[in-house]
Amino acid sequence: MSKLLDFIKKFEPPKEKKFLHTLYDGFFTFAYAPNHVTKSGVHIRDGMDLKRTMFLVVQALALCYIFGIYNIGHQHYAALGMYEGNFFTGAGAKFIYGALQILPIFIVAHVVGLGIEFFYAAKKGHSIEEGFLVSGALIPLIMPPDIPLWMLGLAVAFAVIIGKEAFGGTGMNVLNIALLARVFVFFAYPGEISGDFCWVAYDYNWLHKLFGFEGATMAALGIEALPEGMTFAKYVLANTPDAWTGATPLALAAKEGWAGVQANYSNFEMFWGAIPGSIGETCKPFILIGALMLIVLGIGSWRIMLSMLVGAILTGMLMNWIGDFHAFMAVPWQYQLYMGSFFFAMAFMATDPVTAASTPMGKLIYGFMIGMVGMIIRVLNPAYPEGWMLAILFMNVFAPLIDYYVLQANISKRLKRVKSA
């Protein structure tokens, strides 16, 4: 191991070459744990530094990626009326289509985000910050599968520059970076992240065409050639089978209530994730496995997860009790939990240690408020039948204030004990 270390160190550029040295340092610190220790003679060394913590979060997302890739392909072929046997019919074609669809999204998110991180690190003359390892893994999972790549690049650049670097870099940001990228798309280009058709990838990108997927599909459907000026996606949307809908369960619930959801999707499909939606949010068992990993490893806060769950359940119950003057309010509270992205937001978004509350009591308050506010936004906001993105960003802003009052309350209690003694 020491010979390998010596070999790698031979390639270390001089510090005067800032950009090259920053790239080298990023690789070196990812491969090896830092050897810095305190000088007092009493210290604890642990192999778990920030980069490795981030890497474990990425590992917890692995199952969401695997299922999300497959579901992209499943929804695509379902829209075409192909492989109608069951969810696993045509598994190979579905998985490869999804992989080729998500690969450019993953690459663009990382090239733009890490490129900006490298630039700022080189300009400042310090090591590459590791915060984007998780943000770069999360961003593709919370986007629609057919998001335009140029739009994704703009969203990532906005989130990293305005949301993080403007505040000083990793650990200094007030808002969750991944959610900030999504909220940029939501407000700047609402047509690309709302409606029924953005949640299904209908078209074929250049990678699909390179591997012959478009030609194979056209042959299977008996299409000799597309009309001039018409993309495959436009052709599909113009000839979509009548029984097919690209609407998510949330969109159906907002328009038609629980009956509309049940007419299109079973509880089994919604729980296991065979539904349209953001790439990584649909399969609830795999998300819960990732959440359990984060809790066991001590990375994700169980207090935030539990209190967010309680807040959402109580608010859902209250809405059911109030009445059904709004169709969405009558949806049974237990189904609200897995119709959309609640579990994904609970496990991977609300628990961001930088932007969440940090005191034990503060985490309970913070999580409960996200559950309550998110459910209110989801049900009562007709423009956006989902609420966790806006609720988490809203509570990100109040997290420091929550911690402040929790600390002040603790100080007051201790002062009273001192005086009474």
pLDDT at 166: 87
Longest distance between any two alpha carbons in the chain, whole Å: 90
- Region 49-56 average pLDDT: 73
User: Measuring CA to CA, which residue among 159, 152, 153, 175 is closest to residue 390?
Assistant: 175
pLDDT, residue 346, reads: 96
> What is the CA 228 to chain-centroid distance, rounded?
38
**Each residue's pLDDT tens digit, 316-375:** 999 998 876 778 888 899 999 988 899 999 999 999 989 999 999 999 999 999 999 999
**pLDDT: is 179 or 16 the higher one?**
179
In which region does residue 168 sit, left (phi positive, over 0), alpha (psi from -120 to 50) or beta (all else)?
A: left
Tell me the average pLDDT of the chain: 85
The pLDDT assigned to 153 comes to 96
- The sign one gets for the Cα dihedral 220, 224, 227, 231 is positive
Instruction: Find the distance separating the first CA and the last CA of the chain, reported in whole Å.
Output: 59
- Judge whether 363 and 357 are in contact, CB under 8 Å: yes
Mean pLDDT of 232-255: 77
pLDDT at 38: 53
Q: Is the pLDDT of residue 48 over 70?
A: no
Among residues 192, 180, 182, 98, the alpha carbon closest in space to that of 147 is found at 192
Place of tokens 């505040």: 167
Sign of the Cα pseudo-torsion (375, 378, 380, 381, in order):
positive
DSSP state, 328? G
How far apart (Å, rounded) are the C-alpha atoms in residues 164 and 136?
A: 13
With contact defined as beta carbons under 8 Å apart, do 41 and 321 qualify? no
CA angle 178, 183, 186 (to 5 degrees): 135
At 144-175, the pLDDT tens digits run: 998 999 999 999 999 999 999 888 877 788 99
DSSP 399: H
CA distances from 220 to 81, 95, 215, 216, 242 (A): 11, 18, 9, 6, 19
pLDDT of 207 = 94
- Lowest mean pLDDT, pick from 59-68, 257-266, 390-399: 257-266
Contact 393, 182 (CB under 8 A): no
| Nearest C-alpha neighbor of 282 from the set 341, 331, 337 | 341
Counting beta carbons within 10 angstroms of the beta carbon of residue 339, is it exposed (0 to 12), middle (13 to 18) or buried (19 or more)?
buried
Q: Residues near 48 by Cβ (< 8 Å), separated by ≥ 6?
A: none
Count of CB atoms situated within 10 Å of the CB of 102: 22
Q: What pLDDT shows up at residue 393?
A: 95
Nearest to 290 by CA among 350, 228, 344, 369: 344
pLDDT band at 7 (very low <50, low <70, confident <90, very high): low
302: buried, middle or exposed (CB in 10 Å: 19+, 13-18, 0-12)?
Answer: middle
Phi and psi, residue 94, nearest 5°: -65, -45
Tokens 């809908």 appear where? 245
Task: Give the model confidence (pLDDT) of 276-316 as tens digits.
Answer: 989 999 999 999 999 999 999 889 999 999 999 999 999 99
**What mean pLDDT is predicted for residues 381-407?**
90
Residue 65 — very low, low, confident or very high, per pLDDT cuts 50/70/90? very high
Q: Tokens representing 200?
A: 């299904």
Cα separations (Å) of 328 from 40, 255, 274, 324, 384? Answer: 61, 8, 22, 8, 12
Q: Where are the alpha helices (DSSP H) in 40-192?
A: 50-60, 62-80, 91-124, 132-141, 149-163, 177-188
User: Rounded mean pLDDT of 50-72?
Assistant: 89
What is the distance between the alpha carbons of residues 34 and 31, in angstroms, rounded to a whole number? 10
* Mean pLDDT confidence for 186-209: 85
pLDDT, tens digit (0-9, with 9 covering 90-100), for 103-134: 999 999 999 998 898 888 777 776 666 677 88
CB count within 10 Å of CB 152 equals 23
As a whole-number percent, the residues of the chain with pLDDT over 90 amount to 49
Percent of the chain's residues with pLDDT above 70: 83
Alpha-carbon distances of 348 from 89, 356, 377, rounded to whole Å? 31, 12, 20
- Which tokens sit at 231? 């993309």
Given a contact cutoff of 8 angstroms between Cβ atoms, the answer to whether 160 and 202 are in contact is no
